[in-house]
Structure 1
Amino acid sequence: MATTPATQHHQTAAPKASDTATGRERRRLHLKLKLATQIGQGIDGYIIGGIGMAMAALTTDLHLSTLMQGLVGASPLIGIFVGGPLFGRLADRFGRRPVFLVDMLIFLIGSVLQFFVADGLQLFLIRLLMGVAIGGEYAIGAPLLSEYAPRQGRGRLLASLEISWYVGYALATVVGAVFAEVDGGWRWSLASSAVIAVVCVSLRGGIPESARWLLSKGRREEAEALIEKYGIEVDVAAELAERDAGHQDGFRALFSRRHLRSTVFASVFWAALVLPYFAIGTFWTQVFEALNMGDNAVAALLVYSFTAVAGVTVGCLVVDRIGRRRLLIPPFWITAGCLALVAVWPSSTPVIVGGFLFFIFLNAASSALTAIYPLEVFPTSLRTTGVGFATAMSRVGAAIGTFLLPMGLDRFGAEFVLLVGAGVLAMGGLVSQFLAPETTDMDLAMAARKAGKGSA
């Protein structure tokens, strides 16, 4: 029977059953991987926000000194300093998949143990272990998701991880407020992260290895099978060219001439962004009281948290439209000015409220880039090692700030602390001005190459 042109066109356009199956497989994998990574990212925000709400009650129950308060507050950040480089190196050497599961199992164990602590030292050690696991989460979660993500829209997808962080932070403040009036409620509040960890572990089973990592190890046939099965957008030639050019791995490679620029940039911009936020957020009650803003610090912390959620959501929406550099550099300077303004006029309620809200909103918007920039500036063979190291450096700054802030408030006052925070943000703006590359909509291999050459 003869066929008309219309019939021929219809027959040509009809999708094959295998193509449809590939589409379903790809969508299912992307959804599962996105959820597993988002929840993992949200867990970090959850335990940071949770300790901020529980600090006053557990200080009383466990008789914590000012020194121990600082150690407990900073413990996850110190743990991340170890876990980021450790798990990052393991993921580059042995693969993304096993690390992605093990780090969350460690976090689950730590979450449960928090309920049974008898003193500040025990809580410090347990949250230190949880921080090690979270360091692994930073080193592996976003890099694995990026290695399955298409070029266009990759920024928004990865930035959504930061929304999860702030949602986790805000959720922890709500849970903390619910348990605030319960005797020993801080134990339930801190241990509630175990529920989230169980969900996360269940999602991570069956997630395949990264095709890009397989290519970096010369396992081309396995990589191409995954690329075909899941329709992954990978520049195979660029990944193989990177390997054939004599790829470097390990911590020493981060400080080679080829990668030093990326290492410095990723570490400094990330540390400068998070140091003021973590320090002020963890001890918000003390900062609030030092500024003579009354006794409604819990309500203020909720506003602080939800303003940050709004900020990072906006950052997620615009990151692929305005580009990485525009989302990073101007907010650094503006937020530095906001904190300096509050420090100079600490007696003006409008200045304090406006300055903090602008700081929180813009700082959170820029923080969307912490899930994007570090993994875009390192090649596949060094990606999780580089991200893990940058994570560690960011948490060194955050841990120092969190540890020193209560003592700084006692000795020098809120104005001095805020001026230090403004100086840190200004330093981040200066470094980013000279070192931040524009990597929007570029393949990961090409973005890393551009970052290493230093072209904005």
Structure 2
Amino acid sequence: MSTLHASARSPRAVLRADEVVAALPWRWRTQGTIFLIGGLGFMFDAWDVALNGFLIPLLSDEWGLSVGQAAWIATANLIGMALGAFVWGGIADRIGRKKAFTLTILVFSLFTVLGAFSPNLALFVVFRFVAGFGLGGCIPVDYALVGEFTPAKHRGRVLTAMDGWWPIGATACAFVSAWIVGLGGSWRHTMLVMVIPALLVFAVRLGIPESPMWLAARGRHAEADAVIRRLVERTGADIDTWTHEGVRTIEVRAGFAERFQAATGQLVELWRFSSKVTATAWLLFVSVLLLYYAALTWLPKILREQGLGDQAAFLVTGQMTAVGIAGVVACALLVEFTGRKWMLGGSAVLAAAALVGFALALEHSGAELTLAAKVGILGFGFLIQMSIPALYTYVSELYPTRLRGSGFGWASSASRVATGIAPVVFGSFMWPYFGLVWTFVLIGGLVVVAALVMTVATKETTGTELE
């Protein structure tokens, strides 16, 4: 048992070490600082994904790439992120949240710099894959670290608020890229500039303490006590003793084969729990995020084909992502009133309709976009960012506690693979053969199917007690 200081108060139940962290009051200068730093990591995830869309037209010009060849710029990066999301979770369990937290950004920064000096597409694709692998670990590691420092009664809101960093990152990427192009900079400069804030975050992360929950679960009680003692003092909590008895230990798998076996067992358990829930969760994740990534990745190239200059195309893309910040806020304010299913299904279907409307209006626009085209793409940006937070919330609530993390993780992994393959399919096949309107109709149709399946296959979770 550890003691912060002697107390003359009446005896009370002694908390476990992990329960102390969960019971602390929220303080912006303590847990809030970790939330902000973790959020910046999530922001760079969005920045890197959005950057693919701006690199495609710039590299296509410099290296004379076809649409199909240019698609590999995004595909390599997204597939790397998908692999990183799977691998880094296990690394974080083995070496700790803090070390994994810093290494993800370090790998991303190093290979982004190398990518900026690539002489050809083949080498560039390799570097983008490895950079994506590093940054792909940010989401699971960031969420783990922020969640393990956040008091229990604030955890849901704090982790939901992490979603708000995504449109901020995508918007920052768009406007910074437009600014660089406007100054006569190249695609190499757009990559190098984004490394500067990433390195700043890496430097700040060196001062973050290791997760006391991870330390306690690994049996490093003295180190855990030191972190907990500091948290108690900084938050002014009325807690003076705690125990490590009963703290659940982390089972660290010895290697990739063991982790793969464990992951396969999780997958079987998810489908055994409910094939309807799991199939619906995967369908929702794949369809909604496929719609979003199709627009985010290809909009700058689409606008360039329409006759807009690089800077103008980047600014329109930035406006689309910026209005998404308001969409996240609207979802947070309305989701308890509308219900999860109505918010998710309604906003996703309307977002698909807005994107199709944009493509139709684009046929009657020139280099100066018509009002209908502008309303369509901005409406899409707002609506899709209403649907994504609702998607994350709803899917996590469909599973009981023992399966919630793996259920969400596998659905997210399915979408990562789908969105990783999608740029090549979109650029090499769908857009050239079907045209833009029918391409978005087909993707939007998948969203409608997913919404209909959700309507009949899964329950509403708003206001219900989690299992």
What interval of TM-score do these two structures reach, taking the shorter chain for normalisation? 0.7 to 0.9
Deviations 1:365-422 (A, max 9, x none): 2223466566667788877766554443222222222222223222211111111221
Q: Distance in 1 between matches of 2:59 and 2:138?
A: 27
Structure 1 residues 379 and 223 mapped into 2: Cα distance closer, same or farther (>3 Å)?
farther
Query: Equivalences for 1:44-83 in 2 at 5 Å?
Result: 44-83=45-84
Aligned CA RMSD, in angstroms, stands at: 4.2
Query: Equivalences for 1:92-131 in 2 at 5 Å?
Result: 92-131=93-132
Query: Equivalences for 1:366-385 in 2 at 5 Å?
Result: 366-369=387-390
Please, which moves more after superposition, 411-420 or 217-226? 217-226
Q: Distance in 2 between matches of 1:216 and 1:435?
A: 35
Structure 1 residues 212 and 383 mapped into 2: Cα distance closer, same or farther (>3 Å)?
farther
Deviations 1:140-166 (A, max 9, x none): 112332233345454442233222221
Q: Distance in 1 between matches of 2:454 and 2:247?
A: 29
- Cα offset for 1:83? 0.6
Q: Distance in 2 between matches of 1:213 and 1:378?
A: 24
- 1:359 is matched by which residue type in structure 2? F
Matched residue, 1:279: 294
Q: TM-score, normalised by structure 2?
A: 0.74
Report SS of the residue matched to 2:269: coil
Report SS of the residue matched to 1:81: helix
Q: Distance in 2 between matches of 1:114 and 1:56?
A: 16
Report if aligned partners of 1:85, 1:385 keep a CA contact under 8 Å in 2. Answer: no
Report if aligned partners of 1:29, 1:207 keep a CA contact under 8 Å in 2. Answer: no
Matched residue, 2:352: 336
Work out the percentage of aligned pairs sharing the same amino acid: 24
- Cα offset for 1:221? 9.3
Task: Name the count of aligned residue pairs.
Answer: 418
- Cα offset for 1:363? 0.6
Pairing 1:364–2:385 present: yes
Unpaired segments ≥5 residues, structure 1? 1-10, 13-18, 451-456
Query: Equivalences for 1:298-447 in 2 at 5 Å?
Result: 298-318=314-334, 324-342=340-358, 349=370, 351-369=372-390, 389-407=410-428, 408-433=430-455, 434-435=457-458, 438=461, 447=466
Report if aligned partners of 1:155, 1:440 keep a CA contact under 8 Å in 2. Answer: no
Matched residue, 1:188: 189
- Cα offset for 1:71? 0.2
Unpaired segments ≥5 residues, structure 2? 1-8, 11-19, 251-257, 365-369
Structure 1 residues 298 and 379 mapped into 2: Cα distance closer, same or farther (>3 Å)?
same
Report if aligned partners of 2:170, 2:318 keep a CA contact under 8 Å in 1. Answer: no
Pairing 1:144–2:145 present: yes
Q: Distance in 1 between matches of 2:358 and 2:122?
A: 35
Structure 1 residues 186 and 308 mapped into 2: Cα distance closer, same or farther (>3 Å)?
same
Q: Distance in 2 between matches of 1:384 and 1:201?
A: 27
Q: TM-score, normalised by structure 1?
A: 0.76
Q: Distance in 2 between matches of 1:178 and 1:294?
A: 16
- 1:284 is matched by which residue type in structure 2? L
Query: Equivalences for 1:200-239 in 2 at 5 Å?
Result: 200-210=201-211, 230=231
Pairing 1:253–2:261 present: no
Report SS of the residue matched to 1:117: coil
Q: Distance in 2 between matches of 1:143 and 1:414?
A: 39
- 2:266 is matched by which residue type in structure 1? L
Q: Distance in 1 between matches of 2:304 and 2:178?
A: 18
Q: Distance in 1 between matches of 2:229 and 2:325?
A: 37
Report if aligned partners of 2:59, 2:70 keep a CA contact under 8 Å in 1. Answer: no
Q: Distance in 2 between matches of 1:138 and 1:373?
A: 18
Deviations 1:92-146 (A, max 9, x none): 4554333222211111112221221111112111111111112211121123322
Report SS of the residue matched to 1:202: helix
